[in-house]
Amino acid sequence: MMRQYELVERVQKYKPDANEALLNKAYVYAMQKHGKQTRASGDPYISHPLEVAAILTEMHLDESTIAVALLHDTIEDTTATRQEIDELFGEDIGRLVEGLTKLKKLDLVTKKAKQAENLRKLLLAISDDVRVLLVKLADRLHNMRTLEHMRDDKRARISEETMEIYAPLAGRMGMQDMRDELEDLSFRYINPEAYETVTQRLAELSQRNEGLIKKIEDELHELLVANGLLNASVKGRQKRPYSVFRKMQSKSLSFEQLSDVYGFRIIVDDIPACYRALGIVHTRWRVVPGRFKDYISTPKQNDYRSIHTTIVGPSRQRIELQIRTKRMHEIAEYGIAAHALYKDGEGGGDGELLSRESNAYSWLRHTIEALAEGDNPEEFLEHTKLELFQDQVFCFTPKGKLIALPRGATPIDFAYAVHTNIGDTTVGAKINGSIMPLVTRLSNGDEVEIIRSGVQVPPAAWEEIVVTGKARAAIRRATRMAIRKQYAGLGHRILERTFERAGKIFSRDGLRPVLHRLGQRDVEDAIAAVGRGELSSIDVLRAVFPDYQDERVTVKPSTDEGWFAMNSANGMVFKIPGKAGQNLADAGEDGDRLPIRGLSSNAEVHFSPAGAVPGDRIVGIMERGKGITIYPIQASALQKFDDEPERWIDVRWDLDEANKSRFMARIQINAINEPGTLATVAQTVARLDINIRTLSMVGVATDFTEMEIDVEVWDLRQLNQLLVELKGLDCISTVARVYD
Ligand code: MN
């Protein structure tokens, strides 16, 4: 395991004035935070961030990036927080560490389009700093190097992910070495047999050709020096297993048929020297046609520059040659990282300029811009997938803000995660551009657009749908507020009226000093309590005006006639049918067909007193001397027949569409005592083409009247519509169907 001082020395080697204190502080902090944690290998956990940091020193990265590498797992795996890191190391480092924490939470997604979409978003989310990607790649490289300690199934998954996402990403960023190593490490676990075969063949080959690489190196070097390129250096290597394997696959060749398993690199001082070296080599050895490429005059998108050619070499071996300058070599090795070194302005203002203007940076920027516009992300991403945590989903606002949610989260959770106000006013959602139900479970990479209305109150039922605590709490609160507001409106009107009758004026301010006497916490609560009927308006009146002489401001208890008389001035008309259509005994007399199936024809049949309507689930009960009574299944009267199954008759509605009739149902209403209330109720009933058969007052309190209405409706739908409309009336506090 690498030591702390070794790491510092490495950094100082390429950056003599590096901030040593920062490196030491980051090391000590990570060390303390990871404490006794160990890796799968049994090594202390700190060895991992330390090695990741070491990998980045090979790319000559600045000390903040190295510090971020040391800290990269602290937020995710220890008690460390972003805030703490901000305080200790500054916001810049805190932001980078948090970026890495976010990346860690991204998961594999199977559908190709989805992946592409996700990486697009991911890049958008982190594009503000390429150092996050560099640390992430180094992190992955070290994890791959130590993969042997992981469980089999994990190895395969991680390797596939590396092959599909991280290796191409390294390539795209111009880090060829990183890419090669990631590919070889993955290859080993993804296709162990092929890996074994290829490495074995390569080993045999290098044994057979022992000294060949050295021999060719020397011969090339001598030739170049003899022709005046005194500083030229030549480095040969056998190709890596995965690149050999890939070539075998793509060209359908056997190992024996592969000719160019050796590659040589010539590094010279400047560009003219590159072309001179090319001329020298081509003059001396035969060129394999069609293999010459000049990436110096036309660099690759990722800023790679070199001349490529293939010759038939000194031992009649085909040899691939790369010719480049030192600077080109650095970029080829470290890609973006080679520029990142100059990011802090190290190396002067030119360095800064260089890094901003370099192809690699502009490539990255261009890529992100192109992706942001949604141009064919698949093309760029090829096989790129995201690493995700199993238990989380990452979604994005239309503006590209990343929203992390637990798995199973809905657009409602998303809306509340963005802002409570947004959640409260949500009425719909577009997911990836299409309108989707609010119960939809979100997937990784979904872009969610919330459709809002100005006045929506979140339905209480949402509480069952959402998965985040934040959403649940907010819905509960909003529901409570809405109910309170409703009751407060009601209470306010009741109080105004009561005070008016007493010749007083109601004001909220007047209520405040007497709250304690009423046992209420605040004015809103008190008014809502009146609305709910928990506090009488008279009591409030007396509390505010203790001198007020009680004259019983109650509405006199009234009979049906009283109500009718009282409201007749409103000119309303009750439709009470002469014939109660649905007394089935009567129906029998009229010769009408019974609308019920399951009955023997000679039975005497009637409905229970509270009625039943088509759409209700019904049962028939055989009662001695009374015939059969039809009950809705909710009727509590059924309980007394629980022990007598023989009396229960399975009956079903059997309606004659051509000859429809109305059925009776009973509802109970709790209304404010206020002139016009009954008229409003009756008008609502009439408007829905419903008949009132009877109406009775069941109880009259100071502020409320309870009434029971038997209505005649075509079916349950019409009845439910009535209930909904009545509920919506200001003068009504509760409405319910009664089954007994
Ligand atoms: Mn890590």
Question: Parallel, antiparallel, or unpaired for β 704-713 and 691-700?
Answer: antiparallel
Ligand 1 centroid to 55 CA: how many Å? 12
Of 369, 368, 339, nearest in space to 356 by CA: 339
* pLDDT at residue 69 is higher than 90: yes
Ligand 1 centroid to 154 CA: how many Å? 15
- The CATH superfamily label for domain 4-188 reads Hypothetical protein af1432 (1.10.3210.10)
Q: What is the pLDDT of residues 369-426, one digit of tens each?
A: 544 444 444 433 332 333 323 456 777 787 766 677 877 899 999 999 888 889 988 9
Side-chain-facing half-sphere of 175: CA atoms under 13 Å = 27
Do the domains 196-338 and 663-738 sit in the same CATH topology, yes or no?
no
According to the model, what pLDDT value does residue 322 have? 93
Architecture per CATH, domain 196-338, reads as: 2-Layer Sandwich (3.30)
The residues carrying an active-site annotation are: 76-77
Ion ligand 1 neighbours (CB, 5 A) are 73, 139
Ligand 1 centroid to 72 CA: how many Å? 6
pTM for the model stands at 0.49
Tokens 């490529």 found at: 308
Ligand 1 centroid to 19 CA: how many Å? 23
Ligand 1 centroid to 240 CA: how many Å? 26
Q: State which of 56-65, 203-212, 318-327, 701-710 shows the largest mean pLDDT.
A: 318-327
* 374, 380, 384, 385 alpha-carbon torsion, rounded to 10°: -10
Ligand 1 centroid to 48 CA: how many Å? 7
Please state, rounded to an integer, the average pLDDT across all residues of the chain: 78
Ligand 1 centroid to 343 CA: how many Å? 24
The percent of residues in the chain predicted with pLDDT above 70, rounded, is 78
- d(CA 426, CA 7) in angstroms, rounded, equals 53
- Residue 516: CB atoms within 10 Å: 9
Sequence-ordered list of residues with C-beta below 8 angstroms from that of 654, at least 6 positions apart, any chain = 594, 595, 596, 597
Q: State which of 94-108, 363-377, 563-577, 603-617 shows the largest mean pLDDT.
A: 603-617
Q: What is the pLDDT of residues 258-294, one digit of tens each?
A: 767 788 999 999 999 999 999 999 888 888 887 888 9
According to the model, what pLDDT value does residue 129 have? 66
Apex 584 CA angle, 581 and 586, nearest 5: 70
Ligand 1 centroid to 423 CA: how many Å? 35
Q: What is the pLDDT of residues 434-489, one digit of tens each?
A: 888 998 998 766 789 999 887 667 887 888 889 888 888 888 888 777 777 777 88
Looking at domain 391-459, its CATH class is alpha beta
Buried (b) or exposed (e) across 86-115, using 16+ Cβ within 10 A?
Answer: beebeeebbbbbbbbbbbbbbbbbeeeebb
* pLDDT at residue 142 is higher than 70: yes
| The CATH number, out of the four listed (3.90.190.10, 3.30.70.2190, 3.40.50.10800, 3.30.70.260), of the domain defined by the range 663-738 | 3.30.70.260
Give the mean model confidence (pLDDT) for residues 617-643. 81
* pLDDT at residue 171 is higher than 70: yes
Where along the chain do its domains lie? 4-188, 196-338, 391-459, 479-544, 561-653, 663-738
Ligand 1 centroid to 101 CA: how many Å? 9
654 vs 312, more confident: 312
Give the mean model confidence (pLDDT) for residues 547-572. 39
Name the amino acid, one letter, at 202: L
